Amino acid sequence: MEIQGKTILITGGASGIGLEAAKQFLAIGAKVIVTGRSRAKLDAVKKANPAIITIQSDVANNEEVKFLFNKIQELGGIDILYNNAAVLVPPSNFGIANDKHSEGAAYEMEVNYIGVIRLNNMFMDMLQSRKEAAIINTTSILSQAPSLIEATYSSSKTALAFYTVSLREHLKIIGSNLKIFELVPPLVATEMTVDRKDKKISVEEMVRGLIVGLQKEHYTIRVGDAKLFSLINRFFPKTAFKLINPKKSHQLLKN
């Protein structure tokens, strides 16, 4: 897929993977729009990167998504929708017996799954009107083997992974040329994972892998250890489960 000359909208684009993606897409000749909830973060992005267009919105809010769509229309539309925004409720506040368990689960599902569907539905006609367009949905290796301490986050990403496959096949059936990519990252060094001591890849490496996958039209883009993990999970699912849930994590469930 050609990226140069395309207009890309990145959700959750004010920090972490989204911001790094904005910079790398911009460097190879794309027009980049980022959206996020924090006005302060978006202002900082704009100050440091004047070529990036910033629009404040929350993908979990239907009215704000409509506002985002209208602003994008005014700018001439997009060719690629990159659904990068995601939330993870801290495990310390998210035990099975915790009173806030269902509240946290609903929040994760609203942003990580329903929010993606909301954005995709809103921009579907626009994207399908383009000569070459794409949607990128970010899932996780936790959609293949669940984390015991991040059970509902894993579930939200599993729901998104199944939806992504179904959307891709549905569009094929109706003869649409819209490309549907699934990005499967391993553990990435971001604010969300700052307390994790496991092996991580940098956001720079993560985005480089994404761009290569897009250019080669690998519709399931596995970056870094996600490639090896997929093979392990396919042939040795019990081993994959143990890799995600080492014994040290069991203590967190007991506390």
Give me the pLDDT at residue 112, please.
96
Whether residue 61 lies inside any domain: the answer is yes
- Residue 139, pLDDT > 70, answer yes
Question: What does pTM read for this prediction?
Answer: 0.92
Mean pLDDT, residues 207-212:
97
CA torsion 25-28-32-37 (nearest 10°) is: 30
Domain range for residue 111?
7-254
Mean pLDDT, residues 110-121:
96
- Residue 50, pLDDT > 90, answer yes
Whether residue 218 lies inside any domain: the answer is yes
CA distance 241 to 235: 12
- Residue 103, pLDDT > 90, answer no
Whether residue 215 lies inside any domain: the answer is yes
Residue 148 burial (10 A CB sphere; 0-12, 13-18, 19+)? middle
Confidence band (pLDDT; 50, 70, 90) for 196? low
Mean pLDDT, residues 184-193:
78
Whether residue 1 lies inside any domain: the answer is no
What is the CATH classification number for the domain harbouring 114?
A: 3.40.50.720
Whether residue 192 lies inside any domain: the answer is yes
Q: Which residues contact 105 (CB under 8 A, 6 or more apart)?
A: 89, 152, 155
| Distances, alpha carbon 247 to alpha carbons 129, 153, 154, 194, 253, in Å | 51, 20, 18, 20, 11
Whether residue 245 lies inside any domain: the answer is yes
Please provide the size of the chain in residues.
255
- Residue 253, pLDDT > 60, answer no
Mean pLDDT, residues 143-170:
95
Confidence band (pLDDT; 50, 70, 90) for 10? very high
Whether residue 161 lies inside any domain: the answer is yes
Q: What is the pLDDT of residues 74-98, one digit of tens each?
A: 999 999 999 999 998 876 554 556 6
Whether residue 75 lies inside any domain: the answer is yes
Give me the pLDDT at residue 57, please.
96
Mean pLDDT, residues 94-108:
75
Q: Which residues contact 81 (CB under 8 A, 6 or more apart)?
A: 8, 9, 119, 120, 123, 127, 134, 135, 136
Backbone angles phi, psi at 230, to 5 degrees: -60, -40
Indicate the number of domains in the chain. 1
Give me the pLDDT at residue 95, please.
52
